Structure 1
Amino acid sequence: MDIRLQLFELEDQKWFPHVVRQGMQDYLRFMISTLSTYEAALPLLEELLVKTQQQHITDLCSGAGGGIAGIREALSKRMNVPVRVTLTDLYPNLDAYEYLYNESRGTITFVPDPVNALAVPENLHGVRTIFSSFHHFPPHIAKSILQDAVDKKAAIGIFEGAKKSWTEMLLLWVTFPFVIIFVTLFIKPFKLSRILFTYLIPLIPIGILWDGTVSLLRIYPPKKLESLAKKTAGSNYTWKAGRVGKGPGKHVIYLIGYPKDGE
């Protein structure tokens, strides 16, 4: 599926209820963590940290922090150093961030105020990452996000947990309604609102089904990611894009970039 359609996702809309948005993000975090979706991206993340001699990740567009706890732990073991993570978002999911902060014993921190990925504050250092969110942005904004990283000489990794195929689309429609009914009771932290908007007023399932479908159509294939990166101005950068991973729920589309040696 090499096409890309912009369309729209419900959770991007300002009028969309924040409590439902959070419920959708919590589900995504649970599934990404349970499936270890980004396991295949670990060598790429390690490359970014090693090339820039850093041990800190600033995660942009964090949503509910999907999978970041497992990623941080796995990276720390691979590199034999305590990798730390700061979560940020334009609409911070504070309940999820506080939960991850406590579970990680402070190795995952967060910025409680809105952070715009197009203009990351100078005081936020470390390798920048965007998991499962880059597809939300149309090309001119996506390029601006990359440009901001280049302008501030920050390494950046873009990761989408999908192969972008029609088979994934079919699996979403066939399996998702059963999966969410089963797993919702196991998602932490427990929220009455999540139960209400899943089982009684099913806005979360409807939102996930719509946004999941649109997400697959919006994801940038590797060639388009590479094209966006090459359009950044004044970029003496190393860029790599492609697909990694095998098996259901294990595919990752990626773009990584970092200043060339000596820069």
Structure 2
Amino acid sequence: MKLRLHLFEFEDQAWFPSVIRAGMMDYLRFMTSHLGIYQPLVPVLREALQQTQQLHVLELGAGAGGGTDGVARALGQLPGLADLRVTLTDLYPQPSAWQSIRESSGGQIDYEITPVDATAVPAHLTGFRTIFSAFHHFTPAAAEAILADAVRQGAGIGVFEGAGKHWHEILLAWTILPIMQVMATPFMPPFRLSRLFFTFIIPLIPFCTIWDGTVSILRMYPTDRLLALACKADLGGKFEWRAGKVKHWSGSQVTYLVGWPKKA
């Protein structure tokens, strides 16, 4: 699917009730972690870390987390990456959600409590930059600015989306995934009465999740657009860029763009 429509998502709206947003983020974090959506990216990230000689991953736009924990554990078990560390950041930090991730990771994953703008990352926050499930939220101008900031600071970067941008993924968002959401809701940590109420009594959380999931796929950048954004952000040709898709065990795909400074 080459079509890209920048429609609105509920979770992006300032007026959107935080209790509904929290329920949606809980679900996305739970499913991403338990289904291992980003596990196929381990070889891609391993090469990127080797190319940049980094043992620190700086996750931008981390939201409620959930994209990195399983991948970080898998990477940490590989030769030479036992000391890998991850720092979660966001323009709107969520330390209450990140605290449990830090504890369950045994300290491998930490977080930055101050706001971090992905288009202008403070120089003291170093490491290989990643963006999981969030790059589609940015307009082309903002997406290009994120990549340009990485080039300007000589920081490797990878952007990852948990879909391959196919029409059948929209069908899944309307059918199978809502059923999975309803079934999983009682078991999602942390326990929230509000999540149960707005799932089973007034089903705003499932409805908004279906809408945002559909729009997310329509907003995703296909691989050729990702490379085009990278080329515009890197007019001097300082970085090596790669884009592609890898297959998840379920048959779905994960889309990626990675870039790092060329060796002299």
**Which TM-score tier does this pair reach, normalised by the shorter chain?**
over 0.9
Q: Is the Cα contact below 8 Å between 1:22 and 1:93 reproduced in 2?
A: no
Counterpart CA distance in 2 for 1:20 and 1:78 is 38
Contact 2:37-2:248 within 8 A present in 1 as well? no
Match of 1:2 in 2: 2
Gaps of 5+ in 2: none
Q: Is residue 54–residue 127 contact of structure 1 (8 Å, CA) maintained in 2?
A: yes
| SS class of match (1:79) | coil
Number of residue-to-residue matches in the alignment: 262
The runs of at least 4 aligned residues of structure 1 exceeding 6 Å deviation read none
- Name the CA distance, whole Å, in 1 between partners of 2:119 and 2:150: 9
Amino acid at match of 1:255: L
Instruction: Give 1:92 shift.
Output: 2.0
Displacement of 1:47 in angstroms is 1.2
Question: What CA distance in whole angstroms lies between the structure 1 residues aligned with 2:106 and 2:59?
Answer: 18
State the percentage of identical aligned residues: 51
Cross-structure match for 2:181: 180
Letter in 2 for 1:152: Q
Q: Deviations over 1:85-115 (max 9, x none)?
A: 1111122222220110111122111112221
Separation in 2, partners of 1:250, 1:147 = 30
Q: What is the CA–CA distance in structure 2 between the aligned matches of 1:93 and 1:257, rounded to whole Å?
A: 27
User: What does residue 213 of structure 2 align with?
Assistant: 212
Question: For the residues of structure 2 that align with 1:6 and 1:234, how far apart are their CA atoms?
Answer: 29
Whole-angstrom distance in 2 between the partners of 1:128 and 1:191: 32
1:213-252 aligned at under 5 Å gives the runs 213-232=214-233, 233-248=235-250, 250-252=252-254
Write the distance in 2 (CA, Å) between the matches of 1:63 and 1:75: 21
Normalised by the length of structure 2, the TM-score is 0.95
How much has 1:69 moved relative to structure 2? 1.1
Instruction: Find the aligned partners of 1:258 and 1:12 in 2 and give their Cα distance.
Output: 30
Asked whether the 8 Å contact 2:58–2:89 carries over to 1, the reply is yes
Whether 1:140 and 2:160 are equivalent positions in the alignment is no
Letter of the 1:238 counterpart: E
For the Cα contact (< 8 Å) 2:158–2:257, is it kept in 1? yes
SS in 2 for 1:261: coil
Gaps of at least 5 residues in structure 1 are none
What is the rounded CA distance, in whole Å, between the counterparts of 1:123 and 1:18 in structure 2? Answer: 31
Q: Which residue of 2 aligns with 1:36?
A: 36
Residue of structure 1 in register with 2:52 after alignment: 52
Aligned-partner residue type, residue 257 of structure 1: G
Q: 1:176-225: per-residue Cα shift (whole Å, max 9, x none)? A: 22111110111112223322322233221111111000001010000000
After the TM superposition, which of the residue ranges 33-42 and 243-252 deviates more from structure 2? 243-252
State the TM-score, normalized to the length of structure 1.
0.95
